[in-house]
Amino acid sequence: MSDRQVLGRLLRLARPERGRLALSMLLGFATVGASIGLMATSGFLISYAALRPPILELLAAVVGVRAFGVSRGVLRYLERLASHDAAFRLLADLRVAVYERLEALAPAGLERRRRGDLLSRLVDDVDELQTVFIRGIAPPVVAAGVLALSTGLLAAFLPTAALVLAAALLGAGLGVSLLALRLGRATQARLAAARGLLATEVLGLLEGAGELLAYGRVDDALAEVEAADAELVALERAGAWRAGLVAALGTLVSGGAVGLVAVVGVPAVAAGDLAGYHLALVVLTAMAAFEATSPLPAAAQELSGALAAARRVFELTDAPDPVAEPATPRPAPAGGELRFEAARLRYAPDEPPALDGVDLTLLRGRRVALVGPSGAGKTSLAHVALRFRDLDGGRALLDGVDLEAYAAADVRRVVGLVEQDAHLFDTTIGANVRLGRPDASDDEVAEVLGRARLEAWVASLPDGLDTPVGEEGVRVSAGQRQRIALARALLVGAPLLILDEPTANVDRTTARALRREMLDAARGRGVLLITHDLPEPDEVDEVVVLEAGRVVERGRPEALLAAGGRYRAMADLAAVGAPRGAEPRAGG
Amino acid sequence: MKPLDPRLLRRARSTRSFLALTVGLGLATAVVVIVQATALAEVIAGAFVGGAGLDDLTGALGLLAVAVLARAGLAWGSEVASQRASARVKSELRQGLLGRVASDGPVALAGRSRGELAITATRGIDALDAYFSRYLPQLALAALVPLLAVAWIWPRDPVSVGILALTLPTIPLFMVLIGLAARGRTRRQWQALTRLGRHFLDVLQGLPTLKAHGRAERQRAEIARVTDDLRQRTLRTLRVAFLSSGWLELMAMIGVAMLAVGIGLRLLEGTIDFETGLAILILAPEIYLPVRMLGQQFHASTEGLEVASELLDVLEAPAAAPGGSAAPPDAAAVTVRLDGVAYAYPGRQEGALGGADLTIHPGEHLALVGPTGAGKSTLLSLLLGFAAPSAGRLTLLEPGSGGVELGAVDLDAWRAQLAWVPQRPHLVAGSLADNVRLADPDADDAAVARALADAGADFVDDLPAGAATLLGERGAGLSAGQRRRVALARAFLRDARLVLLDEPTADLDVDSEEAVRAALARLAVGRTLVVVTHRLALAERADRVAVLRDGRVVEQGPPGRLAVAGGPYAELRAGSGVGGAR
């Protein structure tokens, strides 16, 4: 995407607020117009007064000076309100638009970008587009309007002065801004690279400080960071020359133009082409006009950063949808059976398949454990079951019908998910539990809290279910987090439930107890337990061992233990490993 | 809001010379502004009142040209000086931070996210640019230009000075008043705006959950509602907050208007001459301009200083463990004794030590076990000299001598005899062999290969270029188990006599765990091994086990004896699967 295309898309996004943007432009124009009017009439006033006319002849000018002087502050105030209002409205639209796209993409389409820092950068990027809406759209238009106004005014008195001013305003507004944009772009790429390199080096030193110190290698590492730092400082110093050039040119053009207007004005007065008492008016008009162009170079420099932000946003939102909704979805399934037949899935052509011919059946009332090392494809299978992503080969069937034939929302009503790192929203505990069914009755909520063994903990909180979680609320341990996620899945009441590593982030001493309690709570449903810890033999009906996207072993747990294969090897290691909690504690 | 953080002057010395330069440039600019205004007034007055042509005005026009050039030059100089100063100060803060980390080690950073600190030290700190290049120079101009201009006007037209005196001081006064009135609300509103960013992030991070629960669509309307609600409230606040800049504009313009009208009336009376009056009128906007600009730069000042103060906080924190100058004892023969050793991390309870007693004998294989947060890793940090005990003594005893406290020892020389395998080994950018060579930069390829083999890092053979394979940024591409084995290879290459290992088998898959265990058995030969572990299977193989709980050693002895002693270790064992029917 070229800068122009990005800018074009941003302008199209701004279209719904064109009325407010136009208002802010008009107010901005009137603001600068008021200062031009103030300086022009002031110049005329004192020049004419020097001729000692009767005081009545000066009254109009006096009133003009006062009116312009008072109006400008008011106009400026209104202009700032209007421009911020428009920008905030646009930002709100943009947030919703970005959300809509990400909603379609998440989580499968964001696999590579899911990491928190990328999402937070996206949020920052969206915020940064404020710059475009506040400083990128209206000020150039205002400057163009001021150019027309001031040169038009001068042309009425002295056409040559108008030509000088027009050329200088174009130079200061357009020329210096383009130069700033160009110079900015040239250095920005190198600066960004140098900053990135330095950030990597700094992070390396911060993260590896212990080892570097332990192995006496800190000085070497410091020298490397210093080299990267010196490189950045050198670039920034070079950038300082360019920024200085832009600042100096702006001052030179405006100061020079005012001088030149005086130079063409002086002979015009001598020749009688310009009344002497109009000379100050002409010169002061030129002086005041540059207020419109002075913020442009800085805005142009910021614009290149904002455009880069916009490009990142568009790149993310332009990704194709990972799943397609059927044109005429099948009626909602009951959720009696989920079956995979030779399921195949590959994230990228140059990568090994995530699922490579997996067969698996989950029936209501049955429990299947899917075990295997991380990266074996366990979570990919869960994503397919929830229609976050479609298979590349084989079939995924719900009640005997292809998953892809159902509306995704219908599938998710019968297939529930408790994620590995369940997300708790920055709201109350109650709202987090009610996420899937905001209309659930208090009794129903109390019931699932009981089954997730949360009631004692919730009762101990000052505000009970209304206690907020997160930064301003109560600290929630990893175990409680998973229990809340379970309660919320139970409340939805999906007959098939996928527990994706529900105890992965829990202290090992409580993990086993928590898992058993979660399985108990889900009794009666079909449960697919994804785990790399091994379940107790009596906890599940079938174990499927997945490695590199393939099923390498399957069967009843006792049979697999007896068979002495992969499952047995895992069990042997685990048996001498983790300490087990002596007694289950609610809320781990 | 202070305009300058005094710590900045102390920690970033470039700030001082820059401040002096800024004042100098501001003074020069103020003089040039006055010269430019008087020269322009002379040209206009000459033509209008005196009927002069260009030839008669060469002196004034020359002066005007010089002033314009000088002003451009000063603008250049100010920009260059401030951006360079900013670059230098940023570098000084970064170097200070890194120097601090290099001497203190990881404990100094406890509780701070390294990723965030790195971003702050590189990208975040760029907020100082605006502070240095816009705010500080503007502050100098806002103080100096009105001062010098008033000094020039005073003898020529005291009435104009009176008007300036009426309007100019109300600007900062009113800004302060409105600032006070709106401060709480404005700050809350900006915080709410920031929170909105966080709310948005919260929703994006929870998208899979929302989708799984069929709530994603409803959230769309919620985002629109929350954003819109906040927009309205923010605008209500801005209506007050913008009053201050509105007032500033109003006063500036009314000031100019009053000057113009006053000068006009005095010209009618003949109590002032046209050239002086015009010069004052031209000067008037220049007097208000820097004050107006300063108001606009207010945000730049706070933001830049806030970022800087984050780094200054780290720089000003007390040193963790400076060490001494005494030569350390030979690690092969040393007995390490902890008497009532205590240590607590600032602001958190977990991992604190509260009076731990322990003796580590030379050549033994000691396992430290206990629940998460009992202080096991902290004990290793103290042994490494990353932090000094806040109470108690950590003594190195050598046969035939009295012993010396670790705090008195040259820590670099002490650490040169140790090897350490942390829980999450850090890989440096470079090849796999470079990473092993961290422990000994001069080791040849054969030694590196041997160390890798000893560490059970047989996966190296499957890599495209063997040990010469470049590891991706931050060592991506190796699994946890593989990284652990690279770190173990460092310990083998180092051939240290005292080896500290932190959870060497945590979170490993079946194959890696087996390989790491075998490597540990090889490493234990002829060395003192201190292994922190959750896995009792590892403890079972140690000569001696020490059980930590809440920062104290509650039990110690050979694992076989403790297993049947019915104490804390037996409890841990009973809780785990060791010996249990499976």
**Six-digit token pair at A445?**
């909520």
State the complex-level ipTM: 0.79
Least confident of A461-475, B452-466, B476-490: A461-475
Residue numbers in B near A277 (CB within 8 A) = 48
Kindly report the number of other CB atoms within 10 A of residue A513's CB atom. Answer: 21
CATH number at residue A291: 1.20.1560.10
Ramachandran angles phi, psi of B420, nearest 5°: -140, 130
Question: What is the C-alpha separation between A382 and A568, in angstroms, rounded?
Answer: 25
Is B13 within 8 Å of chain A by CB? no
A64/chain B closest Cα distance in angstroms: 9
Q: Strand A496-500 vs strand A415-418: parallel, antiparallel, or unpaired? A: parallel
Inter-chain residue contact B117 with A206, CB threshold 8 Å: yes
Distances (CA, A) of A295 to A68, A80, A135, A148, A301: 22, 15, 9, 18, 10
With 90 as the cut, is the pLDDT of residue B93 above it?
A: no
Residue numbers in A near B223 (CB within 8 A) = 95-96, 99
Where does a domain end: A283, A317, A351? A317
Spatial contact of A557 and A540, defined as CB atoms under 8 Å apart: yes
Question: What is the C-alpha separation between A184 and A305, in angstroms, rounded?
Answer: 9
From A264, which residue of chain B is nearest by alpha-carbon distance? B54
B:386-415 residues touching chain A, CB 8 A cutoff: 386, 412, 415
**Are both A89 and A204 inside the same structural domain?**
yes
B:110-169 residues touching chain A, CB 8 A cutoff: 114-115, 117-119, 121-123, 133
With 60 as the cut, is the pLDDT of residue B528 above it?
A: yes
Of A494, A472, A486, A446, the residue nearest A587 (C-alpha) = A486
> What SS3 string covers B556-573?
EECHHHHHCCCCHHHHHH
Which are the contacts of A176, defined by CB distance < 8 A and separation ≥ 6? Answer: A246, A249, A250, A253, A293, A296, A297
B301/chain A closest Cα distance in angstroms: 17
**Residue A351 within any structural domain of the chain:** no
**Are both A475 and A554 inside the same structural domain?**
yes
Residue numbers in B near A41 (CB within 8 A) = 260
> What SS3 string covers A160-175?
HHHHHHHHHHHHHHHH
> What SS3 string covers B346-404?
CCCCCCCEEEEEEEECCCCEEEEECCCCCCHHHHHHHHHCCCCCCEEEEEEECCCCCCE
Across the interface, which of B198, B200, B513 has its CB nearest the CB of A95?
B200
Q: What pLDDT, on the 0 to 100 scale, is given for residue A151?
A: 96
Q: What is the pTM of this model?
A: 0.76
Packing angle, helices A59-105 and A296-317, rounded to 10? 20
A529/chain B closest Cα distance in angstroms: 17
Q: Strand B404-405 vs strand B335-343: parallel, antiparallel, or unpaired? A: unpaired
Question: What is the C-alpha separation between A379 and A498, in angstroms, rounded?
Answer: 10
Inter-chain residue contact B264 with A249, CB threshold 8 Å: no
Least confident of A37-51, B2-16, B520-534: B2-16
Residue numbers in B near A259 (CB within 8 A) = 40, 61, 64-65, 68
In this structure, which amino acid lies at residue A113? R
Distances (CA, A) of A367 to A361, A520, B523: 10, 11, 44
Question: What is the C-alpha separation between A191 and A235, in angstroms, rounded?
Answer: 7
A441/chain B closest Cα distance in angstroms: 17
Range of the domain at A275: 3-317
Question: What is the C-alpha separation between B131 and B83, in angstroms, rounded?
Answer: 10
From B479, which residue of chain A is nearest by alpha-carbon distance? A374
**Are both A103 and A188 inside the same structural domain?**
yes
Give the largest CA-CA distance in chain A: 117
Spatial contact of A31 and A68, defined as CB atoms under 8 Å apart: no
**Six-digit token pair at A410?**
């219908």
Q: Which residues of chain A have pLDDT under 50?
A: 112-115, 576-588
**Six-digit token pair at B63?**
């002066």
Q: What pLDDT, on the 0 to 100 scale, is given for residue A582?
A: 34
Across the interface, which of B106, B223, B253 has its CB nearest the CB of A72?
B253
Q: Strand B365-369 vs strand B391-397: parallel, antiparallel, or unpaired? A: unpaired
Kindly report the number of other CB atoms within 10 A of residue A263's CB atom. Answer: 19
B357/chain A closest Cα distance in angstroms: 24
A203, burial (CB in 10 Å: exposed 0-12, middle 13-18, buried 19+): buried
Of B461, B475, B462, the residue nearest B431 (C-alpha) = B475
Q: What pLDDT, on the 0 to 100 scale, is given for residue A68?
A: 95
**Residue A189 within any structural domain of the chain:** yes
Q: Give the pLDDT band of residue B347 (cuts 50, 70, 90).
A: low
Q: What pLDDT, on the 0 to 100 scale, is given for residue B191?
A: 63
Inter-chain residue contact B281 with A42, CB threshold 8 Å: yes
Residue numbers in B near A74 (CB within 8 A) = 246, 250
Paired residues of B578 in beta bridges: none
In this structure, which amino acid lies at residue B530? V
Best to test chain B binding among A38, A176, A254, A266 (most B CBs inside 10 Å)? A266
Is B503 within 8 Å of chain A by CB? no
Q: What pLDDT, on the 0 to 100 scale, is given for residue B295?
A: 73
A414/chain B closest Cα distance in angstroms: 10
Q: What pLDDT, on the 0 to 100 scale, is given for residue B195?
A: 65
**Are both A293 and A371 inside the same structural domain?**
no
**Six-digit token pair at A100?**
């809509």
**Are both A310 and A435 inside the same structural domain?**
no
Q: What pLDDT, on the 0 to 100 scale, is given for residue A561?
A: 87
**Six-digit token pair at B476?**
């991506």
Q: Between residues B7 and A360, which one has the greater pLDDT?
A: A360
Inter-chain residue contact A34 with B253, CB threshold 8 Å: yes
Residue numbers in A near B79 (CB within 8 A) = 240, 243-244, 246-248
Q: What pLDDT, on the 0 to 100 scale, is given for residue B581?
A: 33
Inter-chain residue contact B102 with A267, CB threshold 8 Å: no
**Are both A419 and A565 inside the same structural domain?**
yes
Best to test chain A binding among B32, B43, B122, B424 (most A CBs inside 10 Å)? B122
Inter-chain residue contact A288 with B216, CB threshold 8 Å: no
Which are the contacts of A4, defined by CB distance < 8 A and separation ≥ 6? Answer: none
Inter-chain residue contact A99 with B580, CB threshold 8 Å: no
Inter-chain residue contact A77 with B223, CB threshold 8 Å: no
**Are both A182 and A282 inside the same structural domain?**
yes
Is B295 within 8 Å of chain A by CB? no
Is B470 within 8 Å of chain A by CB? no
Across the interface, which of B205, B242, B384 has its CB nearest the CB of A77?
B242
Question: What is the C-alpha separation between A500 and A388, in angstroms, rounded?
Answer: 14
Inter-chain residue contact A214 with B61, CB threshold 8 Å: no
**Residue A455 within any structural domain of the chain:** yes
The overall average pLDDT reported for chain B is 84
A3/chain B closest Cα distance in angstroms: 23
A·B CB contacts under 8 A: 451
Q: What pLDDT, on the 0 to 100 scale, is given for residue A511?
A: 75
Question: What is the C-alpha separation between A237 and B231, in angstroms, rounded?
Answer: 40
From A58, which residue of chain B is nearest by alpha-carbon distance? B264
In this structure, which amino acid lies at residue A587? G
**Are both A200 and A312 inside the same structural domain?**
yes
From A73, which residue of chain B is nearest by alpha-carbon distance? B250
**Residue A126 within any structural domain of the chain:** yes
**Residue A333 within any structural domain of the chain:** no
Residue numbers in A near B123 (CB within 8 A) = 195, 199
**Are both A500 and A380 inside the same structural domain?**
yes
Residue numbers in A near B174 (CB within 8 A) = none
Q: Strand A337-345 vs strand A355-363: parallel, antiparallel, or unpaired? A: antiparallel
Q: Strand B391-397 vs strand B404-405: parallel, antiparallel, or unpaired? A: antiparallel
Side-chain half-sphere exposure of A416, counting CA atoms within 13 A: 24
Tens of pLDDT, residue by residue over B123-178, are: 778 778 888 888 888 889 999 999 999 999 999 999 999 999 988 888 778 777 76
Instruction: Answer left, alpha or beta for residue A29, where phi above 0 means left and psi between -120 and 50 means alpha.
Output: alpha
A88/chain B closest Cα distance in angstroms: 6
Q: Note if the bond before A107 is cis, omega within 30 degrees.
A: yes
Spatial contact of B27 and B277, defined as CB atoms under 8 Å apart: no
**Residue A51 within any structural domain of the chain:** yes
**Are both A267 and A373 inside the same structural domain?**
no
Q: What pLDDT, on the 0 to 100 scale, is given for residue B508?
A: 67
Q: What pLDDT, on the 0 to 100 scale, is given for residue B478?
A: 73
Give the largest CA-CA distance in chain B: 116
Question: What is the C-alpha separation between A285 and A287, in angstroms, rounded?
Answer: 5
Distances (CA, A) of A60 to A56, A66, B5: 8, 10, 51
Question: What is the C-alpha separation between A455 and A452, in angstroms, rounded?
Answer: 8
Kindly report the number of other CB atoms within 10 A of residue B357's CB atom. Answer: 14
Kindly report the number of other CB atoms within 10 A of residue A193's CB atom. Answer: 13
SS3 assignment, position B497: coil
Q: What pLDDT, on the 0 to 100 scale, is given for residue B113?
A: 67
Inter-chain residue contact B207 with A269, CB threshold 8 Å: no
With 70 as the cut, is the pLDDT of residue B475 above it?
A: no
Across the interface, which of A222, A267, A509 has its CB nearest the CB of B98?
A222
Kindly report the number of other CB atoms within 10 A of residue B581's CB atom. Answer: 5
From A372, which residue of chain B is nearest by alpha-carbon distance? B509
**Are both A26 and A86 inside the same structural domain?**
yes
Eight-state DSSP code of residue B541: T
Where does a domain end: A317, A335, A354? A317
B576/chain A closest Cα distance in angstroms: 3
Q: What pLDDT, on the 0 to 100 scale, is given for residue A536?
A: 82
**Residue A119 within any structural domain of the chain:** yes
**Are both A372 and A292 inside the same structural domain?**
no
Where does a domain end: A287, A317, A347? A317
Eight-state DSSP code of residue A399: T
CATH number at residue A409: 3.40.50.300
**Residue A350 within any structural domain of the chain:** no
With 90 as the cut, is the pLDDT of residue B257 above it?
A: yes
Inter-chain residue contact A255 with B71, CB threshold 8 Å: yes
Inter-chain residue contact A248 with B76, CB threshold 8 Å: yes
From A213, which residue of chain B is nearest by alpha-carbon distance? B105
Q: Between residues B88 and B214, which one has the greater pLDDT?
A: B88
Is B268 within 8 Å of chain A by CB? yes
Question: What is the C-alpha separation between A135 and A302, in angstroms, rounded?
Answer: 9
Is B65 within 8 Å of chain A by CB? yes
Spatial contact of A289 and A158, defined as CB atoms under 8 Å apart: no
Question: What is the C-alpha separation between A418 and A587, in angstroms, rounded?
Answer: 16
Number of domains in chain A: 2
From B99, which residue of chain A is nearest by alpha-carbon distance? A222
Residue numbers in A near B428 (CB within 8 A) = 204, 208, 221
Of B105, B113, B102, B86, the residue nearest B8 (C-alpha) = B86
Q: What is the mean pLDDT of residues B191-206?
A: 71
